[in-house]
Amino acid sequence: MGMTWEELESACSGCQECPLGGTRTNIVIGTGNRNADIMFVGEAPGADEDRTGIPFVGAAGKHLDKFLAAVGIAREDVYIANILKCRPPNNRDPLPEEQDVCIKYLRCQVKLIRPKIIVCLGRISAMRLIDPEFRITKMHGQFFKKGDFHICAVYHPSALLRDASKNEDMYRDMKAIKKKLDELA
């Protein structure tokens, strides 16, 4: 689906293609550099994102920011979006049918941005964008070539907040991502 940013924003704002359209406060389309070489994709907005309309502004987002800073990736140089643009009630996992209707907006964002690297934040995003059988504990940090871009997945920042022992793996993966970014630049 070829759209301009304005067309995408207008389509998202009016979207009622799944029941989440009726419960959202704000649609959360994406944020950051529209010319980014690297794009991060989470699963769905949480309460803070639904309130502000901006992805990854809550606790998980702040944790992600620490890793970006630690490996020298500026937040202004990345674009961040989610598989779903509306918040699922009580932060439950996005349903397959919600993903099926919403994924076109993410595809459109990828077409407009044309990043060199896509980083899936967590299992849900990795299963949707890399492989339905993706196992995050085994396959995090591994790069795959898909079409014009390189894609990998890391632990979701919320998972790191629940289990700090995963932070070390996350730091290693993020350093490898920064190295890949430098190589491709």
How many beta carbons lie within 10 A of that of residue 97, not counting itself? 10
Least CB distance to ligand URA at residue 50 (A): 9
Task: List residues binding ligand URA (CB under 6 A).
Answer: 42-46, 49, 55-56, 58, 60, 82, 121
The residue among 44 and 170 lying less far from ligand URA, judged by its C-beta, is 44
Angle, helices 59-71 vs 167-184, to 10°: value is 50
The residue among 21 and 53 lying less far from ligand URA, judged by its C-beta, is 53
The residue among 8 and 121 lying less far from ligand URA, judged by its C-beta, is 121
Q: Give me the residue label for tokens 């500026």.
A: 74
The residue among 39 and 145 lying less far from ligand URA, judged by its C-beta, is 39
Q: Which residues, in sequence order, are CB contacts of 99 under 8 Å at separation 6+?
A: 83, 84, 128
Least CB distance to ligand URA at residue 83 (A): 8
Least CB distance to ligand URA at residue 61 (A): 6
The token pair that represents 47 in the structure block:
């309460």
Report whether 31 contacts 39 (CB < 8 A): no
The token pair that represents 15 in the structure block:
């979207």
- The residue whose Cβ lies closest to ligand URA is 42
Alpha carbon 180 to chain centroid distance? 18
Least CB distance to ligand URA at residue 124 (A): 8
Rounded Cα gap, residues 176 and 37, in angstroms? 15
The residue among 62 and 111 lying less far from ligand URA, judged by its C-beta, is 62
The residue among 37 and 43 lying less far from ligand URA, judged by its C-beta, is 43
Least CB distance to ligand URA at residue 178 (A): 21
Quick one: CA torsion of 164, 167, 168, 173, rounded to 10 degrees? 160
